Amino acid sequence: MKTYFYIRVSSKEQNTVRQEVKAKEHNIPIECVYIEKASGKNVIDRPVLKNLMGVLKSGDKLIVDSISRFARNTKDLIDLVEQLNNKGIIFISLKESIDTTTSTGMFMLTIFGAVAQLERDYIKERQAEGIAVAKEEGKYKGRKTIEYPRQWDKYYKMWKSNSIKAVDAMKILNLKKTTFYKLVKQFETIKQ
């Protein structure tokens, strides 16, 4: 039986230190700490979580700092915990004091998951209302335009001439796939 700790932050810019400290406090060996820097919106887009789910075995324990770090909506949360339960894996969320080995723990998990989703829905509503008001007042400018990284021209030309693959250009320029292709589209629109 092993104990694992799953850490997630929404972007590369966010810091994982606080969650890593929690893992240390629970004496989780570093090889059992899985760190993901990705939005929690889609479980499909979380390769570290997928990998961890494949590693976990019956009798293992999975600890997270908070259910919001594990799943962003109630359905995903329940589905993930059900997968864990079916494999005989214990799920523990520190912030909410949830332990799925108890009936109360499962009940509380469902309640906290629903409350977390409701809170996110309220935030989205307020954000949409704020954007609508800002648009009416002519103050809304949308997202900031993405800056081209240094040496964009060089690696763009190399990619276009098939000297390097897109994935290599992304790595060199330190860009995510979606950002890379947004910049390509933006660049090609400007060039025309």
Domains of the chain: 3-115 (3.40.50.1390), 152-191 (no CATH)
pLDDT score of 139 more than 90: no
Question: For 155-161, what is the mean pLDDT?
Answer: 93
Number of residues assigned to the chain? 192
Give residue 87's pLDDT: 94
Amino acid at 100: T
The span from the CA of 136 to the CA of 125, in Å, is 17
pLDDT score of 10 more than 90: no
Is 11 designated active site?
A: no
Beta bridge partners of residue 5, listed in sequence order: 33, 63
For 29, 44, 152, the CA distances from 22, given in Å and listed in that order, are 12, 26, 40
Question: For 28-40, what is the mean pLDDT?
Answer: 88
For 44, 71, 73, 78, 149, the CA distances from 114, given in Å and listed in that order, are 21, 11, 7, 10, 41
Q: What is the pTM of this model?
A: 0.59
Which two structure tokens, joined as six digits, stand for 104? 């109360």
Phi, psi of 177 (to 5 degrees): -55, -50
pLDDT, tens digit (0-9, with 9 covering 90-100), for 67-94? 888 987 778 888 898 899 899 999 999 9
Catalytic residue, candidates 10, 39, 93, 161:
10
Q: What angle do CA 40, 36, 175 make, to 5 degrees?
A: 90
Torsion angle defined by CA atoms of residues 118, 111, 106 and 72, in that order, rounded to the nearest 10 degrees:
10
Give residue 120's pLDDT: 81
Question: For 6-29, what is the mean pLDDT?
Answer: 89
pLDDT score of 144 more than 80: no
